[in-house]
Amino acid sequence: MTEERPFVDPGGQIGFWRREYLEDFLRAGGAAVKWLTGRAGAGKTQCLCRVREEARTLGYLTAEVSARRVAIGRIDELYRALMAQLPLREVGRDLALAAARRAGAEGFAADGGQDLEDALVASGRPREAAVQEVRTACDFLFAEPNIAPPMAVALRLLALGCLRPAEAAEGAASAERFLRGERIMAAERHAVGITMRLDRYSAREMLRSFLYALRLSGIPGLVVTLDDLEQLLEKERREDAVHYTKMRRDDTYEAIRELIDEGGTLPGLFLVIAGRPEALRDERFGVESYAALAMRVAREVRSTRINPYDDLIDLDEIWQSDWPTHRAALARAYGAEEPREREREFLLAASPLSPLRLFLRAIGCEGGEALGA
């Protein structure tokens, strides 16, 4: 088991995202797409891990996608990659709890095998009234105009699986497969009242509906990290990595563009994309090769000062902006008394120009000259 590297927040950028976005902007219904770039060893993947950790502590759902390991492309493929990781049964439970509160059953436990009808009867409600309350408990999903009716049907079935576990389990299972974008027969969908199927045209509507449903359930939003964007430029085919044709690469860029343009209708979505500089700057295969996306990523205002609000965050620029301070932070994180063997292991995994390697060289791991503080 490998030991995790200590985390040093470059320029306080992750803390800034937590304060300004996770705790504020996204909770208010905003959405954002951010880009992290930097050479190998700059800390991109560690930053993505920390973003997800911070988001989970604040109640967000999180998903991680690596372009090297997952064949993303069209927006419906990206949707499937995200939804495969999400705890949909927990979302159904939270929706069920919201429905129970609306029905006046404050003490209802949606994950204890309890039936809402029985709970209402036990609280003194007549059986006939309890039956009617259960039938209409989840209808609040249909009152949200930003939830597509077929998605409202699926989410209602998911919640009913918790409200009436003995009777609605089969419908909840079908709804979960539909929400994940799994291939199910049209007859099965129609049997439970779901008329929509996932494709590149309906994926945005399904994602938008899901995000609005999260807010109804009390979950502030969804944080997604997309790593290893440079894999889209890889020309050699390898068994352990996804190969991107020009068509699949353009589909990926178009999916990201769609998410940027639809940001105003995707409340609580925070997408952070990371890759090496060539993933953005390469004019033949990088983001620069897809003009519709390149225009949305380009910095309109350039400054010598680091702007934490920028959509494009360059970790190389941040590390170089105040190296003595960052060097001191790295020293505190690793500890002055740490074994040299452990430092050497991290050194071997870092690129020659990474901040970590510079720091370790400075304290003598490679026998290099010390950098001035």
Q: Is residue 101, in this structure, part of any structural domain at all? A: yes
* Residues 336, 281 share a domain: no
Q: Which of 32-36, 135-139, 174-178, 361-365 has the lowest mean pLDDT?
A: 361-365
Q: Please write the tens of the pLDDT for every residue from 241-257.
A: 999 999 999 999 999 99
Query: Torsions phi, psi of 222, nearest 5?
Result: -130, 125
Q: Is residue 116, in this structure, part of any structural domain at all? A: yes
The pLDDT confidence band at residue 20, using thresholds 50, 70 and 90, is: very high
* Residues 220, 289 share a domain: yes
* Residues 310, 219 share a domain: yes
Number of domains in the chain: 3
* Residues 154, 106 share a domain: yes
Q: Is residue 340 scored above 50 in pLDDT?
A: no
Give me the percent of the chain exceeding a pLDDT of 70. Answer: 84
Helix ranges restricted to H, the chain: 13-17, 44-57, 75-83, 88-102, 116-122, 127-136, 149-163, 165-179, 186-191, 203-217, 246-261, 277-281, 291-297, 315-321, 323-334, 340-349, 355-362
Crossing angle of helices 203-217 and 149-163, rounded to 10°: 40
- CATH number of the domain that residue 56 is part of: 3.40.50.300
Task: Output the pLDDT for position 347.
Answer: 45
User: pTM for this structure?
Assistant: 0.84
Task: Output the pLDDT for position 342.
Answer: 46
Q: Is residue 228, in this structure, part of any structural domain at all? A: yes
Structural domain range at position 291? 10-84+209-320
Q: Is residue 203, in this structure, part of any structural domain at all? A: no
Crossing angle of helices 355-362 and 323-334, rounded to 10°: 70
Task: Report long-range pairs for 106-109 (Cβ below 8 Å, ≥24 apart).
Answer: none
Q: Is residue 124 scored above 80 in pLDDT?
A: no
The secondary structure element, H or E, covering residue 313 is: strand 312-314
The pLDDT confidence band at residue 362, using thresholds 50, 70 and 90, is: low
Task: Output the pLDDT for position 373.
Answer: 33
Task: Output the pLDDT for position 352.
Answer: 57
Q: Is residue 192, in this structure, part of any structural domain at all? A: no
* Residues 347, 313 share a domain: no
Q: Is the Cβ–Cβ distance between 264 and 31 less than 8 Å? A: yes
Half-sphere exposure of 218 (CA within 13 A, CB side): 11
The pLDDT confidence band at residue 263, using thresholds 50, 70 and 90, is: confident
Q: Please write the tens of the pLDDT for every residue from 292-332.
A: 999 999 876 666 688 899 999 999 888 888 777 777 777 77
* Residues 60, 42 share a domain: yes
